[in-house]
């Protein structure tokens, strides 16, 4: 009876090990074993807006994210996976319109922004040289809401990075996570 109890204790561990060694990955990356490299070209800024080094921020953020979350080696060009990008839009708009209180004269209150929104749109051309059915050319966007009292010229690198991280996560899940 002892061997039966030992086996029944080991069985769940063996099954768990077997399941975890299969296709699942803790990082969520689902890559063919033949894919070993990625190239991410320098992004261009077709919007003509934003900080002068915006394209550098976006390019470096993409490279950093893929390097941290995959085992892919980053090459300057001709990787097994290739990402080319262009910043299409860097725009501000009111995000939460609020009606101000009625003035004492009884006239209708004014609509004003309760928050402003910075939106960045990036066009991604993705090439998978090992499996061309995964290729796509698509735009991705992200935004950041900020108080109307904040001068748009004082948007920080950290606030822009919050936007780019959302965009990069969307690209990451579409390219190497296949979710």
Which segments within the chain are labelled E, that is strand?
Answer: 37-40, 44-45, 73-75, 81-94, 97-99, 111-113, 116-128, 136-146
Q: How far from the centroid of its chain's Cα atoms is residue 138's Cα?
A: 13
What is the residue-level pLDDT of the chain in tens, covering all 179 positions? Answer: 555 555 455 444 444 333 333 333 434 677 888 999 999 999 999 999 999 999 999 999 999 999 999 999 999 999 999 999 999 999 998 876 665 555 555 556 655 667 889 999 999 999 999 999 999 999 999 999 988 888 878 888 899 999 999 999 999 999 998 65
Are 66 and 172 in contact, with CB atoms under 8 Å apart? yes
Report yes or no on whether pTM surpasses 0.85.
no
The residues, any chain, with a CB within 8 Å of residue 81's CB and separated by 6 or more, are: 35, 37, 38, 39, 72, 126, 127, 128, 129, 175, 176
Q: What are the sequence ranges of the domains in the chain?
A: 27-100+108-177
CATH 3.30.160.150 fits 27-100+108-177, yes or no: yes
């Amino acid at each position: 009876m002892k061997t039966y109890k030992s086996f029944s204790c080991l069985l769940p561990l063996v099954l768990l090990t077997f399941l975890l060694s299969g296709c699942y990955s803790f990082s969520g990356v689902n890559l063919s074993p033949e894919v070993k490299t990625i190239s991410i070209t320098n992004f261009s800024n077709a919007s003509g807006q934003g900080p002068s080094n915006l394209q550098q921020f976006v390019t470096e953020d993409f490279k950093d994210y893929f390097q941290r979350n995959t085992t892919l080696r980053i090459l300057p060009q001709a990787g097994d996976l290739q990402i080319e990008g262009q910043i299409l839009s860097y725009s501000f708009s009111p995000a939460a319109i609020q009606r101000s209180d009625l003035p004492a004269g009884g006239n209708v209150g004014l609509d004003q922004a309760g928050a402003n929104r910075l939106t960045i749109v990036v066009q991604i051309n993705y090439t998978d040289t090992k499996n061309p059915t995964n290729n796509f050319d698509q735009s991705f966007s992200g935004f950041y809401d900020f108080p109307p009292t904040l001068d748009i010229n004082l948007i920080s690198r950290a606030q822009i990075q919050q936007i780019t991280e959302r965009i990069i996560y969307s690209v990451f899940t579409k390219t190497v996570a296949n979710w």
